[in-house]
Structure 1
């Protein structure tokens, strides 16, 4: 009985041992924090790599847009042909000037849009001059050109009105030299819009010199020469 009581007291004095599975040691806790640090570091590296790739793609896209859609160029005007559609010459002893003449010219002009987006333009204005004096003004309708498209416009105009033919210098030049030197100007205003985000107004013009061969019975086009220029008002 005494031995049993002594053994029981010794068991009560024996310290209890904590289970490692229930109470982890400091080493286990440190290992867990180290593992989380590596995981977070991998996440940051992955995010940085994604940001770099996205930035590179955006930069490439901006470069492509800059050299294609946003690199807007002016449209071009070209005089394809010019013909004499009608010629009239009148003589009268009752008029102040014995001779008056009228010539109707028809010119074909092309407008070309070199851009990757459409070009919307207003009516095209064509003027003919004789030494600074305006002989006439003609208009072609407004329109819109698609990307890399072109269109042709016909312009008809009476370029030798009676008020110009009343100039004795004109009549003298016609009869002595058989030529009449005219200049023409064609101008067009328009706008290019890229997705509605970028808009640019453009104005282009075309100056031409036209030499008419004039006789008492007909008028012919002897030569033409054209050069692009800034728009005139």
Structure 2
């Protein structure tokens, strides 16, 4: 009887030198993959740095120019002259009241020393006596060009009814001199590089004395103020 069973041959261990070698293409692919990731990270860092630099320039350059070359300066409102257009003054001694009609012509100017335009809204010129408002004239909104001066002429008319109960005006008319005050205030904005808007307020206050006999201004003392 034949035996079909064959003895199994013992497995021969493979030597390390005979172990299958990794595919060269796979090694190259692995190496290239690592380098690609590093390249992408580097490009991303460069992109972020360039973006930050551009943003820095966008904000810093206008700021530096705004604080140096385009640094806002204070516009100045000046009352150049005050003239009496009409004056009628008389005193009713029996009834202790004064009849007073007064119209003033005021020349004023608004100087803008900035390298950019100055725009201001509607304003008013005021006529005061003893701290009381006795006249008012409108100043329409306007714009003063860079380093320009805007001349303006206004007419201030006394509101006679405001002085009906004021006894001091009787003494002033009888003494021949009437002290009054003119006040002008404008508020606007200076726009630097079309980015920064700076609010500006400019005012002028003039104490003047009017001669009843000569019907003219005998003295004028003005104060000017500007706030940024």
Give the TM-score taking structure 1 as reference length: 0.64
Q: Distance in 2 between matches of 1:195 and 1:226?
A: 32
> Structure 1: 5+ residue runs without aligned partners?
1-23
2:123 matches 1:124: yes
Which of 206-215 and 136-145 deviates more?
206-215
2:45 matches 1:48: yes
Q: Distance in 2 between matches of 1:186 and 1:90?
A: 26
Q: How many residues align?
A: 204
Please tell me whether the aligned partners of residues 140 and 154 of structure 1 are also in contact (alpha carbons under 8 angstroms). Answer: no
Deviation of residue 48 (structure 1)? Answer: 1.2
Output the aligned Cα RMSD.
4.1
Give the match for residue 185 of structure 2: 187
Secondary structure class of the residue paired with 2:30: helix
Deviation of residue 146 (structure 1)? Answer: 5.3
Please tell me whether the aligned partners of residues 123 and 141 of structure 1 are also in contact (alpha carbons under 8 angstroms). Answer: yes
Please tell me whether the aligned partners of residues 84 and 106 of structure 1 are also in contact (alpha carbons under 8 angstroms). Answer: yes
Please tell me whether the aligned partners of residues 74 and 226 of structure 2 are also in contact (alpha carbons under 8 angstroms). Answer: no
Give the match for residue 62 of structure 2: 65
Please tell me whether the aligned partners of residues 92 and 98 of structure 1 are also in contact (alpha carbons under 8 angstroms). Answer: yes
Secondary structure class of the residue paired with 2:51: helix
Give the match for residue 21 of structure 1: none
> Structure 2: 5+ residue runs without aligned partners?
1-20
Give the TM-score taking structure 2 as reference length: 0.65
